[in-house]
Structure 1
Amino acid sequence: MAHLLLIDALNLIRRLYAVQERPYLPLADDVADGTKQQIIRNTEAMLHQALTRLKQELQPSHALLVFDGRDSEWRKLLYPQYKANRKPMPAILADALPEIKQQAENIGFKHVHQDQFEADDVIASIAVKLAQHGQQVTIVSTDKGFLPLLSDYIHIYDAFGRQHQTIAAVQQKFGVPPEQLVRYWSLVGDSTNNIPGVNGIGPKGAHDLLALGATLSDALEHPDCHRKLREKILVDKEQIKNFMQILTLKTDVQVGLNLQDFRLQSKEKS
């Protein structure tokens, strides 16, 4: 059985970069070339270390770094405020990405992106397809948006905390199982993606509602659904549907890759 490591590339690289940039903050508008080069060299070294450690700890047979597409706008078309609270990628890092990708490839980690989609959708599509064929997948990311994918064949690993996410931990943290997370976040909000949720519904109200049915429609039709809670949901019904569509990862992106294309070699290239 294959074991594919799907790495949320910018989730990993941006955090490594931030650590290397920190000693030089605040950066002047005109940063010296030597400073830029030092930050990038340090980032590349830390990425090399992180990828090597992932290879040793998780023992994958295949690995792939997945980057965001340049024209991924479909979620913003549905909700213009989507991720509006996120800082843009630092220019120093953006300029160095081609070099960083090449350094990763030199040690056997190939990369991919699809112009019309975020990395999350590409990762989810590859993971679900392989899981359906009984192959093992480990997603490397700290993004909680992958948690709804947790299953026997799809694992999620935090490279910084150096631990696997578990269904029990999800239940304990959010009060719902992975398959209910998108509904839960659509109701209470998701600050990571700048989704506000439904006004007047907090975690308790969401937990009470989701405990009544597998879907929101089932829950609303349940005789124990509180009238005021039902009214709040119905007022914002279309917005909730919109939020659920935004927060649900696509699993049908056609990547057109062969698993053999990103098999890890036993030895690094010199």
Structure 2
Amino acid sequence: MSHLVLIDAMNLIRRLYAVQERPYLPLPDQLTEATQQQIITNTVQAVEKALLAIIQHCEPTHLLLVFDSQQTTWRHQLYPEYKANRSPMPALLMQALPELQQRIQQLGIAIYQQDGFEADDIIASLAQKMRQHQQEVTVVSTDKGYCPLLDNGVRLYDHFRRTWLDDSYVQQKFGVSAKRLIRYWSLVGDSTNHIPGVAGIGPKTALELLQLGETFSDIIQHPDCPKAIRSKLTEHKADIQCFLQLFQPRTDLELGLNLQQLRYPVTEAANA
């Protein structure tokens, strides 16, 4: 059986870069050129070390490091406030990405990036195709946005905590199963993505509502749904539908990739 390991590249790299940059904050742009180069060198080495540790732990037959698009994505077009509170990528790291990507490829690891799409859409689409063929898939990331993939039999691994994440983890952390997680977030919102949810509905109320039905239509029509909440859900129906789309990783992307290209280590034939 094939085992495809999909790594959320910037989730990994930005965390490792932050460790190298931290001693020089808050003015990293005023550092000498030599110091800036040392930060990048240390980051490259840390990334290489992390990737080798992930490979040793997960034992992939196929491996892909997926980068986010640096351009506006469909989520920003759907909801302009999406991730509006996020800090931009540090300029020094942005400049170093081509060198970093080259070093990663020299390790025999394939990389991929597609304009207009975040890594989660690319990863979810590849994971879906692999699971349809009963192949093993592991996603390496600390981003909770991948947790809904657990419902499709995808495994999640947090490299920094050296921990496998499963449905019991989701249940303990959020109070719902992976299957209901997107609907839960669409109600309570998510500050990390700058998605507000429905005003006046907190975690406790959201959990109670999700017990009333599998869809929001079921919840609204349920006799135990309080009148005030029913009115609020009806009023914010369009917002909720928007939030559902934002939280749902795309699984329908046609990426033009085949397993031979993703074999680890990458062969010359795969690169031809």
The Cα shift of 1:153 comes to 3.4
Aligned to 2:104: 104
Aligned to 2:44: 44
Structure 1, residues 75-115: CA drift from partner, whole Å, max 9, x if none?
11221111000000000000000100111111111100111
For residues 133 and 241 of structure 2, what CA distance do their matches in structure 1 show? 30
The Cα shift of 1:235 comes to 1.0
Alignment gaps of 5+ in structure 1: none
Structure 2 counterpart of 1:127, which letter? A
The Cα shift of 1:30 comes to 3.5
Contact 1:135 1:153 in 2 (8 A): no
Aligned to 1:191: 191
SS at match of 1:150: helix
1:1-270, aligned counterparts within 5 Å? 1-151=1-151, 153-265=153-265
Structure 2 counterpart of 1:126, which letter? L
State which drifts further: 30-39 or 15-24: 30-39
Q: Paired residues, what number?
A: 267
Structure 1 counterpart of 2:49, which letter? Q
**CA 1:28–1:49: 2 relative to 1, 3 Å:** closer
- Given the two structures, how large is their TM-score scaled by the length of structure 1? 0.96
Structure 2 counterpart of 1:100, which letter? L
For residues 201 and 180 of structure 2, what CA distance do their matches in structure 1 show? 16
SS at match of 1:112: strand
Aligned to 2:270: none
The Cα shift of 1:152 comes to 6.2
Structure 1 counterpart of 2:164, which letter? H
Structure 2 counterpart of 1:9, which letter? A
Contact 2:121 2:250 in 1 (8 A): yes
**CA 1:5–1:70: 2 relative to 1, 3 Å:** same
Alignment gaps of 5+ in structure 2: 268-272
Structure 1, residues 102-160: CA drift from partner, whole Å, max 9, x if none?
11111111100111211110011001110111011100000000100104631111010
For residues 250 and 72 of structure 1, what CA distance do their matches in structure 2 show? 16
Contact 1:134 1:153 in 2 (8 A): no
SS at match of 2:18: helix
Contact 1:205 1:229 in 2 (8 A): no
Runs in 1 of length 4+ with deviation above 3 angstroms?
A: none
SS at match of 2:115: coil
For residues 28 and 134 of structure 1, what CA distance do their matches in structure 2 show? 47
State which drifts further: 71-80 or 140-149: 71-80
For residues 13 and 97 of structure 2, what CA distance do their matches in structure 1 show? 9
Structure 2 counterpart of 1:204, which letter? K
For residues 28 and 132 of structure 1, what CA distance do their matches in structure 2 show? 46
For residues 198 and 266 of structure 1, what CA distance do their matches in structure 2 show? 46
For residues 153 and 182 of structure 1, what CA distance do their matches in structure 2 show? 16
**CA 1:95–1:176: 2 relative to 1, 3 Å:** same
Contact 2:176 2:207 in 1 (8 A): yes
Q: Once the two structures are aligned, what percentage of the paired residues are identical?
A: 55
The Cα shift of 1:266 comes to 9.9
